[in-house]
């Protein structure tokens, strides 16, 4: 199996498409093989895997820190996934890119440190999986409100389901 890597409009953010085997029984996909990633210049040591489940119209994020690489994928369902450059010294500061991630394409997004990410569930429910390069450190955690006008993200929802924290978080 292999993975195809594409740059996005934010050069540091990569879209990865693992190869898939399909037959009459279903599909098989290898979601991570360090050799495939190393061949593509992705030399990141992941130390933990996290999974969240959410229902339709749940919006999580936008969260980030200055240390952690994240490899994101939607294991089940369909999500609208956003990555925003939160690095104040970057020429792309506050620019964002979005993706539709689902359990059909199995695409992944590599999110660098300093980039915020959030997702909105488009299907009835979803399973969201991410590999992380750092252990959780609440002192380093940052967040931006999902509808902050400085970002101007075009979310495909008017009234998302939010946690209390995500409904008021803002560090801009």
Q: Which one from 28, 63, 64, 119 is the annotated catalytic residue? A: 63
Active-site annotation holds for 119: no
Active-site annotation holds for 93: no
Cβ atoms 146, 153 nearer than 8 A:
yes
Res. 6: pLDDT tops 70: yes
Backbone φ/ψ region at 34: left (φ over 0), alpha (ψ -120 to 50), beta: alpha
Tokens linked to 126: 């979803």
**Domain residue ranges in the chain:** 3-168
Q: Which one from 37, 64, 119, 130 is the annotated catalytic residue? A: 130
Res. 172: pLDDT tops 70: no
Q: Which residue has the higher pLDDT, 171 or 120?
A: 120
Distance of CA 145 to the CA centre of its chain: 16
Res 171: pLDDT = 66
Alpha carbons 137 and 68: distance in angstroms, whole number:
10
Res 113: pLDDT = 98
Global confidence as pTM: 0.94
Tell me whether residue 107 is exposed, middle or buried, using C-beta atoms within 10 angstroms of its C-beta: 0 to 12, 13 to 18, 19 or more: buried
Res 170: pLDDT = 74
Q: What is the pLDDT of residues 59-79, one digit of tens each?
A: 998 999 999 999 999 999 999
Q: Please, what is the average pLDDT of the chain? A: 95
Cβ atoms 121, 79 nearer than 8 A:
yes
Domain at 3-168, CATH from 2.60.120.10, 2.40.10.10, 3.40.309.10, 2.30.30.100: 2.60.120.10
Res 103: pLDDT = 96
Q: Which residue has the higher pLDDT, 127 or 138?
A: 127
Res 168: pLDDT = 80
Cβ atoms 132, 57 nearer than 8 A:
no
């Amino acid at each position: 199996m292999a993975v195809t890597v594409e740059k996005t409009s934010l050069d540091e953010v990569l879209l990865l498409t693992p190869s898939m085997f399909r037959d009459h029984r279903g599909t098989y996909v290898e979601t991570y093989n360090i050799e495939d990633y190393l061949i593509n210049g992705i030399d990141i040591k992941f130390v933990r895997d996290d999974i969240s489940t959410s229902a339709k119209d749940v919006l999580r994020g936008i969260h980030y820190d200055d240390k952690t690489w994240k490899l994101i994928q939607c294991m089940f369902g369909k999500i609208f996934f956003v990555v925003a450059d939160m690095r104040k010294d970057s020429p792309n500061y506050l620019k964002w890119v979005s993706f539709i991630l689902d359990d059909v394409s199995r695409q992944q997004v590599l999110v660098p440190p300093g980039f915020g990410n959030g997702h909105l569930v488009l299907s009835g429910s979803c399973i969201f999986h991410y590999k992380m390069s750092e252990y959780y450190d609440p002192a380093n955690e940052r967040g931006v409100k999902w509808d902050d006008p400085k970002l101007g993200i075009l979310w495909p929802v008017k009234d998302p389901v939010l946690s209390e924290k995500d409904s008021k978080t803002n560090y801009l």
